[in-house]
Amino acid sequence: MVPHNSAPAHPRRRIVDAHHHLWDVQRNYHPWLRDDPPQAFRYGAYQAIRRNYLHADYLRDSARYEMQGSVYVETEWDPADSTGEMAFVDELRRTGGLPTVAVAHVPLDAPNAPERLAAQCAHAFVRSVRHKPRANPQPDMTAPGGMLDPNWQRGYAALAELGLRFDLQTPWWHLHEAQALLERHPATPIIINHAGLPADRSREGLARWRDAVQSISRWPQVFMKISGIGVPGQAWTADNNREVVQTLIEAFGVDRCMFASNFPVDSLCGTFDDIFSGFETITASLGVVAQDALFRRNAIRIYDMELDT
């Protein structure tokens, strides 16, 4: 049974968090959380999250909301331990009731990627895979991204026969490469992580990001996570993120978007309440049915979570 947060005095919105992480840095090795010097990170310094983040921490942060279920997303776990992370998630589910489903990691360019995918699917709660493809650090660079690598594509081809989705985290300037994947492998749904990473909030930057997400939104088997949209040095507010959220909902429609916390990573730019109350403010005019889809029902459907809708 999913644990319920201690109830505040006012009614709580029922949500399904479509993207979050949990980790125990004492027990399990995550290079980016343990190694020194720390790696560069898009939100700047992240020493604040180099600590354990488990059920009690997550439920404390999300206490304003009734957590019906959640999607655990791979955490760049020890690459030498290919199956340990989903075993850890299995333990989390048994001891704390969350997460409901998981996005596992498999290096798709590995020679034995199909076997690794099958091993992850031994856990019935695995719904999707994330392997961040190689990406250029800025737009207008001519080097191809990792999605065009033949070895990577061979691994990707194995997703469909296992009934897996693909969680894609890549900057918007590589989304055209994802469209090439869709043409060759239309049976594999793609779930774009973190809004396609609209880091450049200049008028030109947003215009180019908008063109990219509108182009890929024409594929009905592509879905969008509205998450990870904090800006370094700025508070997470509805006003700062309204244009990004509204653009995505207009492009994909209400039924193909999901709200997610990306906690604890996004705790570096706002509280859980900052982010989810901001989503509530931005979408208030859409009405309660549309909001419930964005906050809960879409994630249940897209990730086949077997929860009440």
At 250-274, the pLDDT tens digits run: 999 999 999 999 999 999 999 999 9
Q: Do 153 and 117 contact (CB within 8 A), yes or no? A: no
DSSP letters along 24-57, please? -TTTS--HHHHSSSPPP-TTS--GGGSS-B-HHH
Task: Give the domain ranges of the chain.
Answer: 14-302
Instruction: Report the pLDDT value the prediction gives residue 39, as an integer from 0 to 100.
Output: 77
Instruction: Report the pLDDT value the prediction gives residue 10, as an integer from 0 to 100.
Output: 54
**Selection from 238, 258, 237 nearest residue 300 by Cα:** 258
Q: Kindly report the pTM of this predicted structure.
A: 0.95
Instruction: Report the pLDDT value the prediction gives residue 8, as an integer from 0 to 100.
Output: 44
Question: Which superfamily does 14-302 belong to?
Answer: Metal-dependent hydrolases (3.20.20.140)
Instruction: Report the pLDDT value the prediction gives residue 3, as an integer from 0 to 100.
Output: 45
Divide the 309 residues of the chain into consecutive groups of 10 and give the mean pLDDT of each group.
46 95 96 87 86 98 98 97 97 97 98 97 98 96 94 97 98 97 97 98 98 98 98 93 98 98 97 98 98 98 96
Vertex 125 angle, CA 121 and 131, to 5° = 60
- 3-state secondary structure at position 257: strand
Beta bridge partners of 102: 72, 126
Instruction: Report the pLDDT value the prediction gives residue 9, as an integer from 0 to 100.
Output: 44
Q: What are the residue ranges of helices labelled H in the chain?
A: 31-34, 55-61, 84-96, 113-120, 150-157, 175-184, 203-216, 238-252, 272-282, 288-292, 298-302
Q: Do 165 and 188 contact (CB within 8 A), yes or no? A: yes
DSSP letters along 188-204, please? S-EEE-GGG-----SHH
| Cα torsion through 60, 66, 68, 71, rounded to 10 | -40
CA gap 240, 275 in Å, rounded: 11
At 5-53, the pLDDT tens digits run: 444 445 799 999 999 999 999 999 999 999 988 877 788 878 899 999 9
